[in-house]
Structure 1
Amino acid sequence: MKYVIGVDLGTSAVKVLLVNQEGEVVKEAAKAYPLIQEKSGYSEQDPEEWVEKTAEALAELAAGFNGDPADIEGISFSGQMHGLVLLDERHRPLRNAILWNDTRTTEQCRQIYEIAGRERLLQITKNLALEGFTLPKILWVRQHEPEIFQRAKVFLLPKDYLRFRMTGKIHMEYSDAAGTLLLDLEKKEWSKELCRLLSIDPAICPPLVEPHACVGTLSKEFAERCGLKETTKVFAGGADNACGAIGAGILSEGSTLCSIGTSGVVLSYEERGDKDFQGKVHYFYHGKENAYYIMGVTLAAGYSLSWFKDAFAKKESFDDFLKGIDRVPPGSDGLLFAPYIVGERTPHADAAIRGSFIGIDSSHTREHFIRAVIEGITFSLNESIEIFRKSGKRVDTVVSIGGGAKNETWLQIQADIFNAKIIKLSSEQGPGMGAAMLAAYGCGWFESLEECAKEFLQTKKVYEPVEENVKIYQEMYEIYKNIYSQTKVLSHQLKNFRK
């Protein structure tokens, strides 16, 4: 039996999966690492933490593997998007990585529009300038840390830096490059025009490869450190959402994914890269060659729930924390939650907006608040689905992965709010499985990713929308959509009082 490894470099932890040729997860390991948040809106990590913790996780995986390490043929990656890693001439990090959920770059986004123009930016990149993207981070470092920027020779994204440390080779693949705001999406090349307009040396942009491309093998040092073989092939991998799409079988027109992790995304497959969504949703390159996807983002999806738990029930397990929410009726007896606790992305690109509970009544219990948080997250995700539908897309079946797929009540809430069938997969490993599938395809196990998906992925359960609940949620959703406009001014006024 042959094996591949999928490495999922997330925001809070790295998870590694050992997958066999039948798509079974034979072993897995995970290692956590901290966020560095010195100020409100700042979010950084030490890139060396990714390397150390991945090495530890792979060593644990190899130690528990009973087979021959030579039978592990390939490794590929999924990674948190948009993060900036600046390297010097010796390819050493110049500073901490600035992550996707860092919102310090509002001024740099304004500068991009002022210099390049909103419409021209959309024509080239298919995306708006948002604080989370990589280009504004590059401009921020240039403006606020010029002595560091002068020493920068190349920039990478998080999983690309990890892969470099494992192979010694510098590359970036298209699905992550599409989230930098420097890629010409249709031409599949770095935009010389944007580099010229923004006075960025194109030389800092790394060579581009396809997500399934083999970019080398493990270095001797890293292989020995982890108990693996130098002959293990290393594949480029993809952005976490692109890999999540692969790992959920979102590989053809009409298929839609809901992934709820720290952030939440709703993602739908696109065959072409020349459509115009006017920046209402993200438009990125897929992990499948010559394919694309559109995506809406809720910045604090699972994070809203984990924040609430840590604030009010830190010592409880999640299972105990969620007990009783099935007894609270749809709509939480008139309690609404807006999950804007770190700002919002779709459809409101606003770094200063903050969350709120609306309609608190003395009859509400803890279970009401917990269910309202879950419903609020799902309402936010539904705003992306509404955009998809208004663009002409059919969304009647959604594959749900991540934290939102681990609770039966939440899956039914998704079915009712989305008014669509929700599919739960038998083995839901999300982006890590997508990374493993890229490695399996790259190793030649299958002729296509579609063939790989047929072998690796099976449906466990389908959740149908309940008509009575759908009606309640449609009424609540219309009220929910007013929260942003009604609280925007207050949130912005309160900004000066936050740390």
Structure 2
Amino acid sequence: MTTTSVVIAVDIGTTATKTLAVSRDGRVVESHSIGYPLHAPAADRAEQDPEELFAAVADGIRAVVDKLKLRPEDVLCVTFSSAMHSLIAVDKEMRPLTPCITWADNRSAAYVDILKERYDGLGIYRRTGTPLHPMSPLLKLMWMRDHEPEIYNGAYQFLGIKEFVFARCFGRTVIDHSLASATCMFNLEKLEWDEGALRAAGIDASRLPEPVPTTYKLTGLRPELAARMGLGAETPFVVGASDGVLANLGVGAHEPGVYAVTIGTSGAIRGVVAEPRTDAEARLFCYALQEGYWVVGGPINNGGIMFRWVRDELATLEAEEARKLGQDPYDYLSALAAEVQPGSEGLIFLALMAGERAPYWNPNARGVFFGLSLQHGKKHMVRAVLEGIMYRLHSVAAALRDNGADIREIRASGGFARSPFLLQLLADVLGVPVTVPESIEASGLGAAMLGLLAVGEVGSLSELDGWVDSGGTRYEPNPGSHATYEKLTAIYAKVYHQLEAPFSDIAAFQNEQSAE
């Protein structure tokens, strides 16, 4: 290995694709990010253009190659991380017949009950580890069968965005075990497509990509794409895994008691167990990573997207003032929220504006300010929204603890890990220390680790434990603040459960209005 040899890690996210060049000792020596829009043509839709996402992958790789002036022989491999639960129908030439239907799309919400009633949905959950929710490709396929039968019947295969990239690059359709286990169609024990789930979808395994281990390698990159990316045709592409499970690797959260929290557009809390494990109440996911590494936890829809809503809708004047002062609007708003006592003087925000996943799995949930009084001003509302994001993670942590999890430390990654205010808030709400590794590009680093394992540079993932500085910045919970949040999270849970039926009513009304 030469001093210039790197792994290129491509992290295909919801709002951007980030491409990293990572050295053998775990240093991110170069990076590039390309953003793209998330389209919402209706209240229950969340789509992307597959061609835009593919271009971001190809152009991101080329940008890193050019910045470092890499030769093809300098690239040990290209390895991948990807957002979960996407679905694209393609024809035999791998041309998309649909947009990329993302995890945030709720069009198939009605099929949760259909799956439970007609197809033993709970049994499917227990075999696949994917909670029953419209995020899952299984429910998306059931919806497509009934509402877009021409596309459903005419499609050659159904892929996620990472599989679409591989199909374009190599003419093969493969899916890694971790992304397969996020489809609600993959049997965790057998590591193959689940027959009961396929019956519910109305397809056979030939219409899905071939499941392969996360260290599986593809070679023979199409010459025109090799030239576009600045790579050699035989540069190995390692299929990698999902962004969620890779974030645990990237922050070193794979030992008992250490859990990873990621907040980007959405968010999640996850830990690693030695064998597949599901929840009796179907609140948590279980996804494959490697033999002996199974990731359990729960995702939330309402992460950084809520802070963006605050900036763009609730506090537009304050955000503009920040820009005039040359400050980051998010830092400005965090400072505003810090002027308010923990608990926002009894103002609670149910951060459910994008529907919700764990532990409620309720696509009809909506945002609510509860306890609003004349003593509350805008800064209380800003803080309450940020606290509401952490209350969402608290509810997932509670479900994990119900299943025996001993959460002693949180390793943080994602955009929120740049904010000391939000990190302290997380520590105070969960009541455990929060540490931040030197690099917060956890999913990309996790993908790079898998890449080195796949090409034989290391014999096991444990050899790369030195990549993660577990002694990074540490935030200890404030006992007084935690006591306040313990009271408020209990009230929060009561309010949510009392609103479950009205949530369905208002969601139906909103969908009717959107359709007019």
TM category, shorter: over 0.9
- Separation (CA, whole Å) in 2 of partners of 1:151 and 1:381: 41
Displacement of 1:162: 1.7
Partner of 1:307: 309
Partner of 2:417: 405
SS of 2:464's equivalent?
helix
Confirm or deny: 8 A CA contact 1:174 1:210 kept in the other structure.
yes
Confirm or deny: 8 A CA contact 1:84 1:97 kept in the other structure.
yes
Confirm or deny: 8 A CA contact 2:437 2:468 kept in the other structure.
no
Displacement of 1:275: 5.0
- Separation (CA, whole Å) in 2 of partners of 1:371 and 1:63: 43
Partner of 2:50: 47
Q: Which amino acid aligns with 1:103?
A: N
**Does 2:138 align with 1:131?**
no
- The TM-score, its normalising length taken from structure 2, stands at 0.92
State, as a whole percentage, how many aligned pairs show the same letter: 29
- Separation (CA, whole Å) in 2 of partners of 1:197 and 1:411: 42
Confirm or deny: 8 A CA contact 1:427 1:458 kept in the other structure.
no
SS of 1:324's equivalent?
helix
Partner of 1:58: 61
SS of 1:426's equivalent?
coil
- Candidates 2, 23, 30, aligned match of 1:27: 30
Gaps of 5+ in 2: none
- Separation (CA, whole Å) in 1 of partners of 2:209 and 2:70: 37
Displacement of 1:322: 2.2
Q: Which amino acid aligns with 2:187?
A: D
Partner of 2:264: 261
Confirm or deny: 8 A CA contact 2:49 2:99 kept in the other structure.
yes
Confirm or deny: 8 A CA contact 1:56 1:226 kept in the other structure.
yes
- Residues 345 and 275 of structure 1, relative CA distance in 2, 3 Å threshold: closer
Matches for 1:226-375 after TM superposition, within 5 Å: 226-274=229-277, 276-286=279-289, 288-311=290-313, 312-313=315-316, 315=320, 316=323, 317=328, 318-375=330-387
Displacement of 1:217: 4.6
Partner of 2:99: 96
- Candidates 169, 174, 187, aligned match of 2:172: 169
Structure 1 residues 40-62: Cα deviation after superposition (integer angstroms, max 9, x where no partner): 01011111111112222222212
SS of 1:320's equivalent?
helix
Q: Which runs of 4+ in 1 moved over 4 A?
A: none
- The TM-score, its normalising length taken from structure 1, stands at 0.95
Partner of 1:440: 452
- Separation (CA, whole Å) in 2 of partners of 1:166 and 1:290: 31
- Separation (CA, whole Å) in 2 of partners of 1:455 and 1:293: 20
- Candidates 164, 180, 187, aligned match of 2:190: 187
- Separation (CA, whole Å) in 2 of partners of 1:457 and 1:150: 50
Structure 1 residues 371-390: Cα deviation after superposition (integer angstroms, max 9, x where no partner): 21111110110111111112
- Separation (CA, whole Å) in 2 of partners of 1:109 and 1:473: 33
SS of 1:73's equivalent?
strand
SS of 1:212's equivalent?
coil
Structure 1 residues 176-200: Cα deviation after superposition (integer angstroms, max 9, x where no partner): 0011111111111111233235532
**Does 2:84 align with 1:72?**
no
Confirm or deny: 8 A CA contact 2:126 2:278 kept in the other structure.
no
Partner of 1:155: 158
- Separation (CA, whole Å) in 2 of partners of 1:76 and 1:395: 30
Structure 1 residues 376-423: Cα deviation after superposition (integer angstroms, max 9, x where no partner): 110110111111112211101111111221111111111111111111
Q: Which amino acid aligns with 1:231?
A: E
**Does 2:110 align with 1:110?**
no
- Separation (CA, whole Å) in 2 of partners of 1:103 and 1:455: 38
- Separation (CA, whole Å) in 2 of partners of 1:197 and 1:226: 40
Gaps of 5+ in 1: none
- Residues 368 and 432 of structure 1, relative CA distance in 2, 3 Å threshold: same
Confirm or deny: 8 A CA contact 1:353 1:491 kept in the other structure.
yes
